Amino acid sequence: MARKKKTAQEETIVAAEPTVQLITETLEKNYMPYAMSVIVSRAIPEIDGFKPSHRKLLYTMYKMGLLKGHKIKSANIVGQTMQLNPHGDASIYETMVRLTRAHEALLHPFIDSKGSFGKHYSRSDPPAASRYTEAKLDEICQELFSGIDKNAVDFVPNYDNTTTEPVLLPTTFPNILISPNLGIAVGISSSICSFNLSEICDGTIALLKNPNTTIDRLLDIIKAPDFPGGAKIIYDRDQMKKIYETGYGSFKQRATYEFDKKENTINITQIPYSSSVDAIIKKAKEMVKLGKLREVSDVKDLTDINGLKLAISLKKDAGVELVMQKLYAATELENNFDCNFNVLVGGTPYQLGVKDILLEWIKFRVECVRREITYDLQKKREKLELLEGLTKILLNIDLAIKIIRKTVKEEDVVPNLCKGFGLNQRQAEYVADIKLRHINREYILNRAKEIDGLRAEIADMEETLRDDIKLKYVIISSLQTVKKTYGQPRRTELIGKEEVVAPAKDIFFENYNCKLILTRGGYFKKLSMQAARGADEHKLKEGDFIIYEEDTDNRGDILFFTDKGQIYRAKVADFELCKASHMGDYIPSKLSMEDDEHVVYCKMVYELNPKHHMIYIFENGKGLRVSLGAYEAKTKRRKISGAYSSVSPLAGAVYEGDKPIKIFIRSVGGKGMLIKSDLVPEKTTRTAAGVQIMQLPKKGGKVDLVTDRIDDIGDDAAKCRKLAIPSTGVALNQMTFKF
């Protein structure tokens, strides 16, 4: 049988298979290990609340003896840290800066600092170079390293096997929820907010006593996140409950301010944690420049050694609440904190809620305490063993001395003591190493008295290791001590969402009366009423004329109708005031219309009232009436395509409010007709072709003007009146037009 020839498509697939396989292998061998390394070893915090860079730095400082003593130059610390973290001095110093007291990024800083370390809320205040600043570990770090020298955690070799470092730090409190943490890895990120230390300790104690404690009960204890910069949280219990359950969600924060009546200045003293002073000032000044914040005369950053302070100087009679509503709505004075509690547990990333994180920390801490107690127990057993050997020589000290004196060789002293008193190797070595001044009955009796206490302590430790409840009460006692020693009142205030006043829709617009004008050539003007009442004539291009004119105010929207079946929406406030002697804005350019697209009509509206209508008359003489409700949508679209029929170009449009209006229609052939708008039938489909309104000649006939400006037609307009449609219109030879 002849072999079937492969098609071109099959040959292409076969040729592509090696390439696809090569890409897959490259991803598996190179990219995936890199991605996992970034997730596990760099960007996502472990259950102790630290990323590797934090842990390496703090452990280096601990080994340098900086838990006590004086501060030393930061450059020295950075250099020593490179033994564990070979990523360059700049990145190590950046890590160090964030952990300092001066940087104000943490509720409980781990590094006591001296010098300029910048502020986490200001990008324009960078830290000084490491050679100028000094640091040491803060007092709270005692809780990070408690038990680290008692085998509480595992140690691993550093990157070049010259020393070892801890895998985790045996923190005595759930630091994972105390220190805010942000990390972006490959395909995963972590964003953990900070909570109040006292509340977290109380919530952890509640879970230690009852692991089935509900989320609602935890919400009563751990009320909400707490940030070093204070500010306010717009509190929604249901929203917060979701974050506590899933570790995912967001909440809003607001800045705190004070009004200085004497200086007529608003002083911002606390801002949301995720905001920056620079962004707030830049946006506020931009709003002032654009006229959206006319009540403000100046914005200054007066932050100093006493803390954050943004001064917003107000003009005379400016409303404080109105200014703050504008700033909350448009700047980072109100900002979201997005929570994404991704945590590494045993080297695997998990998204956990607050309760689950605390339960995982309890497991971790129980193991740390168990290892510490086991370490201490072993030391006490060894000590007891030595003291029991010491008591054996108590009744015959002279014999011990005699054995030592009569032993010829030094290496035989220990074996001879073992034979003489029935001691083991360690006990005999201990006795042999006693100083000569201590070989007396008083010393040995005093040491022997420790035996009963040691045995009691050993028994208690053994009981604690066997009893999980006792083990947990050791942790509870430690948490109570931490709370008493380091606990602070909440800094972040909670306000109910019902207390927050929603800003008005037109809050950014200064409202004033104005006159709107559109010409046939597409030029649009917004005039103040004073300018409109002036004697100046409107500057128009040769042959251009006004097709729309209306007295209104600055709050509404303007709908621009084009000859391409499209409607463009803009705000009246988007246009600057101008004089009658100016040409105005050319709408096709300002609104970025399509090529060869021209404005035919415009109308200012506050809302799309379904009882009001637009009447469209096309060049082919057909027309229809469409309800404004047909253009209603969930969001205000800048451009509405397919707004009306495009079978024939739009000759003109008019707006019909609560009552019918008069419409004048003119054809190229020099005929016109005047009708009432209720003659034009309404269509439910906005793109319908309409019905014939004006009868036109088959050759060259088309409508060239549609207007409701009847006064501009002339005194003989009444001669064109028609009571029925369609109509051929009346000859206009003797009529006078203003356009």
The residues carrying an active-site annotation are: 132
- H or E segment to which residue 270 belongs: strand 265-270
CA atoms within 13 A on the CB side of 730: 15
Q: Is 188 left (phi over 0), alpha (psi -120 to 50) or beta?
A: beta
Contacts of 251 (CB under 8 A, 6+ apart): 224, 225, 233, 234, 235, 236, 239, 240, 243, 336, 337, 339
Residue 15: phi and psi, rounded to 5, are -65, -30
Q: Which residue has the tokens 């006591």?
A: 112
Non-local CB neighbours of 502 within 8 Å, separated by 6+ positions: none
Contact 497, 237 (CB under 8 A): no
Relative orientation angle of helices 441-448 and 450-466, to the nearest 10 degrees? 20
Contact 694, 648 (CB under 8 A): no
Report whether 538 contacts 546 (CB < 8 A). yes
Q: Which residue, among 95, 63, 60, 66, has the nearest Cα to 80 in the 3D structure?
A: 60
Q: Is the peptide bond before 228 cis (omega within 30 degrees of 0)?
A: no
Which residue shows structure tokens 């060259």?
700
Is residue 413 classed as helix, strand or coil in its secondary structure?
A: helix
Contact yes or no for 470/463 (Cβ under 8 A): yes
Pairing of strands 189-192, 232-235: unpaired
Q: What's the token pair of residue 170?
A: 């045996």
* 622 within 8 A of 692, measured Cβ to Cβ: yes
Annotate 133-190 with three-state secondary structure.
CEEEECHHHHHCCCCHHHCCCCEEECCCCCCEEECCCCCCCCHHHCCCEEEECCCCEE
Which DSSP helix (H) or strand (E) runs through 76?
A: helix 74-81
- CA 322 – CA 513 distance, rounded (Å): 21
- β-pairing, 585-586 vs 523-528, is antiparallel
Q: What is the dihedral of CA 461, 462, 463, 464, to 10 degrees?
A: 50
Using CA atoms, how far apart are residues 280 and 32, in angstroms rounded to an integer? 40
**Exposure of 459 by Cβ count < 10 A (0-12 exposed, 13-18 middle, 19+ buried)?**
exposed
Rounded CA-CA distance 513/507 in Å is 16
- Is residue 156 packed enough to be buried (19+ CB in 10 Å), middle (13-18) or exposed (0-12)? exposed
Provide the H-helix boundaries in 488-552.
529-533
Return d(Cα 407, Cα 527) in angstroms, integer. Answer: 118
